[in-house]
Structure 1
Amino acid sequence: MSTTARVRVTGFQRFGNRMLEIFHGIGLPVGPMRLLKVRGRTSGREYTNPVAPVEVDGEVYILQAFPGSDWVRNVRAAGEGVLVRGRKARRVGLVEVPPHERGPIVRRFPIQVPMGAGIFVKNGVVPDRRPESFERAARDIPVFRVVPR
């Protein structure tokens, strides 16, 4: 898939995302999911996106599963956001990992978040759920390191 192609979120996925927001809002986090809140680069409005962080060597990373997602452009502009788990929210810095350093990080995603790996396959980011496939596609998967503020 082209890195510039945009993959749209389906109505069913929007519904699931909204349910995740509701569950987190009442203090019931779901699996490894977090909510990432980022200010829009032009609107200034806060947008919320579900993410499944990956931990590698004590560092936490967030990967993009939907090519062309606005949240990535917003993070690049803002350099920060708020990560929410249940009712706990913390402001964090978000530093983009250079493409040549992404391989070992994205390789861990299907191991740590096997349910989430299917979204990458469905969206054409990787051909299958194998860690090797994620590693081969690493240069085209935006990755952000979460830095405490």
Structure 2
Amino acid sequence: MTHKRSAGLLLFRRTGPRRGTDAGTGVEVLLGRMGGPLWASREVGGWAIPKGEYGPEETPRDAARREFTEEIGLPPPEGEYLPLGEVRLSSGKLVTIWAVEADLDPALMVPGTFSMEWPPHSGTVQEFPELDRVAWFAPPDARSLLIPGQLPFLERLLGLLEP
């Protein structure tokens, strides 16, 4: 059985040292809150790294850049792509993420959409945003909001950025 594969970009920006907090490295990461009715009431565990599935005809890095544009509606940032490796989720999906240092204004986001039948068994198909919003978070907040299966990518990024 072939498992699905997904790739994405974790944007980070340096904010300078923060005194008296657990923010640590003075870094923020850009996360997106999952869109659609199934995620509407979830904050904790409802945010994700912008990513998406790809097939064998596409490289993971190309897929990560394409998916960033599809989910955020903006071109992927240029700069050094830091590989954060892979994580196999409990579903079996293999996720590959790169970190890129960039600044992005969340207000500029134009989210991609997906269609699903809602309410269930109603026969009504509706469109929903892939991500209903994006925002910058310091590591302590990102840890509590991020989907648990994606936490290793945040920790790997912070490990790379430690002095």
Tell me if TM exceeds 0.5. no
- Bigger strand share: 2
Structure with the larger RCO, 1 or 2 (CA within 8 Å, 6+ apart): 2
Larger of the two Rg values belongs to structure? 2
